[in-house]
Amino acid sequence: MLHPRAFKVTVVWTLALLFLGSVVHATESSLACPDWPTCFGTMVPEMSGGVFWEHLHRLVAGGLVLMFVLATWLVRREVTDRPWMFKACLAGIALLLVQSVVGGLTVIYQLPDMVSTTHLSLAFLFLSLATFLAASTHQRAPEETIEISTSVAASLRLWAAVGAGFIFLQSALGALVRHTDGGISCPDFPLCLGQVIPPLINVQITSHFFHRVFALLATLLVIGIALWVMRQEVPGIFRRLAWSAVALVVAQVALGVASVLTILAVPSVTLHTLVAATLLANLVTLSTIAGRA
């Protein structure tokens, strides 16, 4: 069957698109094309400077829509015993179309904070859906078919889902920090404006401070899940996913600190978004596979 591969390609494609979108914002190329859906009135503008990044982002986004439409068609043709999967694909297509329109509105209305934040949050939501579909259709290796306790599987499914939900909310908050230009509202670390709790006088400082607080909570949650998994009799796939989640959350915190200390250098900011998205996909995969076990 081809649809499992199509879902996996969709996940990788979405991660690449999120990374590219972060590059667009970090290089201040978001309005390099002042119109939408065209760029300076054409679909084939001169690919130079900020136009290169912004228009490339649009082209890759269009490719993602086509890729997921193909995946949906494959599900329609190959899957007859799981009607929920086709419905989930239709929901994904609708989500992508809304995401595209919201992306256009960010350009037309000159990057309004909440619209831009919604645009990135919807991208993370679609990534979660695509990852769920990819993990649900993954052809399990022999070691992944080892039976585990029902209670252990249920607990792991729940806590990994809680972790994924927390990372999604943290990423949405990070999007607010990004689009309200709050990235260096706290220019020091580990303190914020020289204080443990800074004066929460505007949205930039407030969102940045709580983004740091939630980052600490997310780190503790992911480490707690991994330590719990290590104490259970589970197949190796669960241990690998749990420890990779720990590695990702530690890298994410390090990149967040680097983003502040380097005054939002492009490499650290863009990788910060990519690692957050990868961590979300990791936890969604862990929860889904636990549910299948």
Q: What is the DSSP string of 46-68?
A: ---HHHHHHHHHHHHHHHHHHHH
Angle of helix 3-26 relative to helix 266-292, nearest 10 degrees? 150
Distance from C-alpha of 47 to C-alpha of 100, rounded to nearest angstrom: 21
Task: Report how far residue 257's alpha carbon sits from residue 247's, in angstroms, rounded to the nearest whole number.
Answer: 16
pLDDT recorded at residue 144? 54
With 0-12 CB in 10 A as exposed, 13-18 as middle and 19+ as buried, what is 203?
Answer: middle
CA 196, CA 4: separation in Å to the nearest integer? 48
What letter does residue 262 receive in the DSSP assignment? Answer: T
One-letter amino acid of 236: G
Output the pLDDT for position 146. 58
Structure confidence at residue 142 (pLDDT):
56
* Mean pLDDT split into 10-residue runs, the chain, 293 residues: 91 96 93 92 92 95 96 92 93 96 93 93 97 89 65 91 95 93 91 92 94 94 94 87 96 94 93 96 95 79
Q: 192: phi > 0 → left, psi -120 to 50 → alpha, else beta; which?
A: beta
Give 229's DSSP letter. H
Note the pLDDT of residue 208. 95
